[in-house]
Amino acid sequence: MQRMSLPQGTLFDSDTPLALGSHAFVLPGLALPYVPELLPALDAIQRVAPFRHMVTPGGFEMSVQLTNCGALGWVTDRHGYRYTAHDPATGQPWPPMPPSFLHLAREAAARAGFDDFTQDACLINCYEPGSRMSLHQDRNEQDLFAPVVSVSLGLPAIFQFGGLTRSGRPARVPLVHGDVVVWGGPDRLRYHGVLPIEDGLHPLLGARRINFTLRRAA
């Protein structure tokens, strides 16, 4: 039998970016070299600004727990969705953005064709088995073309990626520890969500999936 050697960048190379749209990409494993810096930084953030369940304007408690770092943090309560400079739970500013987050975001954005964006906000989501995120658009930021960089750690997830309206069946994209998704420009308002996380134990994060998304909010 003849062995095939695949050139770099073929469909079968697991490191190849996967295009979800003209300006939306999955970058498999891009965060892996950053993990030794990301995990202690995440621990330090949650000691100052603990994960908590927030309530939607409709009165539903989210199954995902949230916190933030950076100049601005995304919050939701009975009054709506918005960005705040202070953690409503403590009255303190959100913890500063760790340099490793910014370095990773810069590399990811550049690989997706977005140069010179700096992020002032980072929303951190903690999923336990069964937690999910229903289909939504991210539209609380000033510039709805600037890219979002989304980093997945811990348990795997099925990410749903749909169109610019709620109609139609969204694509299902498996994401694992270390994967990064970037989208912006004309894809920035695509509907997306996360199916319920399956039971499991990740060697570094246990029964959790952590996803953090960096954006330019103001």
Please state the residue numbers annotated as binding site for Fe cation.
136, 138, 192
Q: Which of 213, 214, 216, 217 binds ligand MD6 (CB under 6 A)?
A: 213
CB of 158 to ligand MD6, least distance (A): 10
The site string for ligand MD6 over 91-130 (x = CB under 6 A, - otherwise) reads: ----------------------------------x-----
User: Which C-beta is closer to Fe ion: that of 87 or that of 141?
Assistant: 141
Which tokens in the block code for residue 98?
Answer: 């760790």
Which tokens in the block code for residue 48?
Answer: 């100052």
* DSSP element (H, E) containing 101: helix 99-111
CB of 16 to ligand MD6, least distance (A): 20
- Bridge partners for 52 per DSSP: 66
The rounded distance, in Å, linking the Cα atoms of 153 and 179 is 8
User: Which C-beta is closer to ligand MD6: that of 92 or that of 204?
Assistant: 204
138 makes contact with Fe ion (CB under 5 A)? yes
Residues 138-177 interacting with ligand MD6 (rule: CB under 6 A): 138, 148, 150, 159
Q: Which of 38, 69, 112, 194 binds ligand MD6 (CB under 6 A)?
A: 194
The C-alpha torsion from 72 through 77 and 205 to 157, rounded to 10°, is: -100
CB of 212 to ligand MD6, least distance (A): 9
**Of 24-32, 98-106, 130-138, 173-181: span binding Fe ion (CB under 5 A):** 130-138
The rounded distance, in Å, linking the Cα atoms of 162 and 171 is 6
68 makes contact with ligand MD6 (CB under 6 A)? no
DSSP string, 21-87: ETTEEEETTTTGGGHHHHHHHHHHHHHHS--EEEE-TTSPEEEEEEEEESSBEEEEETTEEEEESB-
CB of 123 to ligand MD6, least distance (A): 8
Which tokens in the block code for residue 145?
Answer: 């073309």
Contacted entry of ligand MD6, Fe ion, none for residue 66, CB cut-off 5 to 8 Å set by kind: none
Q: Reading across the β-sheet that carries 209-215, which strands appear in turn?
A: 18-21, 24-27, 180-183, 148-154, 209-215, 121-127, 61-69, 52-55
171-175 and 209-215 strand pairing: unpaired
Contacted entry of ligand MD6, Fe ion, none for residue 148, CB cut-off 5 to 8 Å set by kind: ligand MD6
Residues that bind Fe ion (CB under 5 A): 138
